[in-house]
Amino acid sequence: MSDIIQLLPDHVANQIAAGEVVQRPASVVKELMENAVDAESNSVTLVVKDGGKTLIQVVDDGFGMSETDARLSFERHATSKIKQAEDLFNLHTKGFRGEALASIAAVAHVEMKTKPEAEEVGTQLVIEGSKIVSHEPCVTSKGTSISIKNLFFNIPARRNFLKSKQVEQKHIIDEFQRVALAHPSIAFKMIHNDSEIFNLPSANFRQRIVGVMGSKTNEKLVPVKEETDLIKVSGFVGKPEFAKKTRGEQFFFVNHRFIKHPYLHHAVSSAFEGLLKDGAYPSYFLYLDVDPKSIDINIHPTKTEVKFDNEHAFYSILRSAVKHSLGQFNVAPVLDFEKDASMDPNYIQHKSNAKIPSLNVNRNFNPFESETKFQSKYKHNHQTQKSAPWEALYTGLNQDVDFDTKSSELVDIEVESEHVRGDLFHGNHQKTNFEYSGTFQLQNKYIITSTTSEMLVIDQHRAHFRVLYEELLKNITDRPALSQQLLFPLQLQLNTNEIQIFEQLKSSLENAGFSFSEIGKDFVKINGIPNKLPESEVSILLDQLLSDFDNEIPDSGFHQTDLLAKSLGQSMAVKNGTPLEKEEQTELVNQLFSCKEPMLTPMNKLIFVKQSASDFDKKFM
C-alpha cells in the first residue's frame, strides 16, 4: 500500500491557520493594533475603507523593526514575545504566538514600512498571498505602517461570507474601542472612508471612556476601586437608571487585555440585583490587575477567553467592590442609622455624681372628663331623635318611582373608573366579511368575542402588533406615514455604534413617521414622531430598536424593512394590562381581521384561540 500522508505546503497551512486567526476584517484590526501597542507606541492611527474589505492600515510611532526582523515577522511562529513555554504564564504583551502576520499575509496583499529610531532608512516589504514580491530599503518615519488590501482575495468563498460594509464597519469599531479603552495613555485615531470617527488624545480611564462612549457618559459613571492581595479592581459602573437593553457597554480588562467572562459578568449583575428594570443590562468598564501566573489566556486564538486559578475569590471580591461603590455613592439603598448625640458616652464627666431624674405630674388631670362630655352629648341627640315623629322616617316610600325617566329624584351615584386610552385605534379600517357579536375585555389582556359557532380569545398585544407591522411595512415601502411635530425637539445621547445604526436606518425611520433635524457624533435630534406614538415612549422605543439591530444590520432591502417593522410594531403595540374601551376593542378586532395574516404575529406566535360550543359541552359532561 502506498503512503497517503504528506506535509501540507506552507501557503496552504498558512491559509488554514488564517481561518482561525482572521475571521473577518475586524480580526486584522485587532491583531495589528495590539502589535502597535506592544511596540510601545505613543499614538496609533487606524485607516479603513469599505468596512475593511478594500483597505486596513495601522500606523504607529513605536520602536520599529530592523530589516531582518521585518522579514522574520511574517514567518509562522516567529515572535519576540516569548522564548520558552514557561513564558506563557508570565505574559505582559498582547501577542505571543507569532501567527498573526503570517496568517494575514496568506490571505491578503500586505505592504509594510518600518524603521527603528536609530536607523537612517527603513525597510519596505510587499507580500501577496505569502509570496514576497519586494523587499527593499525605503524612506519612512520612526515606527511601523502596515497596509492590508483586498482581504481574502485568494479565497473567494471566504470573502463571500463577509457581511455588508456597515456590519463589518461595526465590528471594526468594536475592536478599536476595546483596544483604545484598555490603553488610555496611548492616543488613538480612526478614519473610515476619509471621515474621522474617533480622535482620542492620551488621557486617564474616565476621560477615555467619555471620549469613546460620548460626552454624556460622564454623569452616568460610578467609580469602583478595591485592592487585595489576589486582585486589584478599578474602573467604573453605570448608574442603574441609565441601564440599556443592549450589552454594548460591558467591558472587562485583565492586565490591559479585553476579555469575555460569563462568571465575572454574573458577579457584576448580581451586585445590581433589585436595581434594574426587567430586560435591562448594567454598564461597566472594569480593569482587573492580577498576577500573570494566576491566569491562562492561551486557550483561544482570539485570546478573549481566560481561565483564573481562583475564580470563586475573584467573583466575591468583584461583586463586593461593585456593591460597595453603588452604596457608597448613594446609588443603592444602604442601612444608615442616625445616632442621637445624647447617646454618646461623655468620658469627661464619668466621675461626677449621678443626677436623679425628676417627674412632673398633673394632679388635676381627670381621665373621665372627655367621656362625660361625650355621654351628655349622645344623650341630648338621642332625646332629640326620640321626640321626632316616627312616621316621618317612612315618608315617600309608598310613591311609585320611575327609574327610566330623567326626572327621577334619586341621587346619581358616580363610580370612579380606570383611565382608558382612547387614541390607540382609529376608525379607518377596511370592511371585512368577518361577523361577530359584542366584545369585552378580560384581565386587561384578552379581548373576548364570539361568532355564530365559536368563541374567540384574542391577545390584545399580539393583535395590535400584527396590525402595526403590516401598516409599517406599507408606510416604509409605499407611502410615508403621518408625523406629529414636536413643540420642543427631543435630543437622545448615543454612542458611536448607535449613531452608525441610525445613519443606516434614517430613511426607513422617516418613512415610518420619524423626523430628524440633526444627527451628530454622539446625539440625535428628533422633531417629529409617528402619529400613534406617545412622546414619553420615544426613548424607550428607540432603545429597543437599537437593541434589535445591535448584533446585525441587514443589507438594504426587504430584510432591513422587515426587521425595522417588527421592532417598531412590537414596541408601539398596546401592552397587556392596558384597559380598552368598547370602541377600541371593536376597532382592534376589525383591524386584525383586515390583515393578510390574522392568525399569527410577525414572530409566528398565535394571536387568538377558538372554543366551539361542542368544546364547552364536553367540559360539562
For residue 225, pLDDT over 90 is answered with: yes
**Number of C-beta neighbours around residue 290 at 10 A:** 18
> For residue range 417-447, what is the model confidence (pLDDT) as tens digits?
444 444 555 545 454 555 556 788 888 999 9
> For residue range 230-263, what is the model confidence (pLDDT) as tens digits?
899 999 999 988 888 777 789 999 988 898 888 9
For residue 53, pLDDT over 60 is answered with: yes
For residue 415, pLDDT over 80 is answered with: no
Question: Measured between alpha carbons, how far is 423 from 486 in angstroms, rounded to an integer?
Answer: 17
Q: 188 has which bridge partners?
A: 44, 200
pLDDT value at residue 47:
96
pLDDT value at residue 546:
78
Q: Which of 38, 29, 121 is nearest to 73 (CA)?
A: 38
pLDDT value at residue 86:
57
What's the residue count for the chain? 621
What's the grid cell of residue 229?
492581595
pLDDT value at residue 16:
67
Burial of 293 (0-12, 13-18, 19+ CB in 10 A): exposed
For residue 491, pLDDT over 70 is answered with: yes
Question: Measured between alpha carbons, how far is 485 from 506 in angstroms, rounded to an integer?
Answer: 17
Please list, in sequence order, all residues whose beta carbon lies within 8 angstroms of the beta carbon of residue 386, skipping any fewer than 6 positions away: none
Q: Which of 515, 531, 602, 596 is nearest to 561 (CA)?
A: 602
Query: How does the average pLDDT of the chain come out, rounded?
Result: 80
Average of per-residue pLDDT across 481-486: 82
pLDDT value at residue 374:
52
pLDDT value at residue 98:
61
For residue 214, pLDDT over 90 is answered with: no
Average of per-residue pLDDT across 84-112: 73
For residue 9, pLDDT over 60 is answered with: yes
For residue 601, pLDDT over 90 is answered with: yes
| pLDDT class of 136 with cuts at 50, 70, 90 | very high
Percent of the chain with pLDDT over 70: 77
Q: In this structure, is the dihedral angle defined by the CA atoms of residues 466, 468, 474 and 477, taken in order, positive or negative?
A: negative
pLDDT value at residue 416:
42
Listed ranges 20-34, 35-49, 349-363, 367-381; the one with the highest mean pLDDT: 35-49
Q: Which of 212-221, 283-292, 548-557, 585-594 has the lowest mean pLDDT?
A: 548-557
Pairing of the two strands 307-308 and 295-296: antiparallel
3-state DSSP of 93-130: CCCCCCCHHHHHHHCCEEEEEEECCCCCCEEEEEEECC
Give the domains, in start order, of the chain with CATH numbers: 10-200 (3.30.565.10), 205-328 (3.30.230.10), 424-621 (3.30.1370.100)
pLDDT value at residue 568:
85
CB 589 within 8 A of CB 449: yes
* H or E element at residue 49: strand 43-49
CB 243 within 8 A of CB 258: no
Question: Measured between alpha carbons, how far is 526 from 306 in angstroms, rounded to an integer?
Answer: 43
pLDDT value at residue 616:
81
* Torsion angles phi and psi, residue 393, rounded to 5: -70, -25
Task: Tell me the one-letter amino acid at 301.
Answer: P
> For residue range 381-409, what is the model confidence (pLDDT) as tens digits?
555 555 455 555 455 555 554 544 444 44
pTM for the whole structure: 0.71
Q: At what angle do helices 460-477 and 496-511 cross, to 10 degrees?
A: 80
Please list, in sequence order, all residues whose beta carbon lies within 8 angstroms of the beta carbon of residue 361, skipping any fewer than 6 positions away: none
Of residues 306 and 337, more confidently modeled: 306
pLDDT value at residue 200:
94
Of residues 373 and 77, more confidently modeled: 77
Of residues 339 and 391, more confidently modeled: 391
| pLDDT class of 554 with cuts at 50, 70, 90 | low
Listed ranges 37-51, 274-288, 307-321; the one with the highest mean pLDDT: 37-51
> What are the strands, taking DSSP E only, across 281-351?
284-290, 295-296, 307-308
Burial of 23 (0-12, 13-18, 19+ CB in 10 A): middle
Residue ranges in 188-237 assigned as alpha helix (H): 205-213
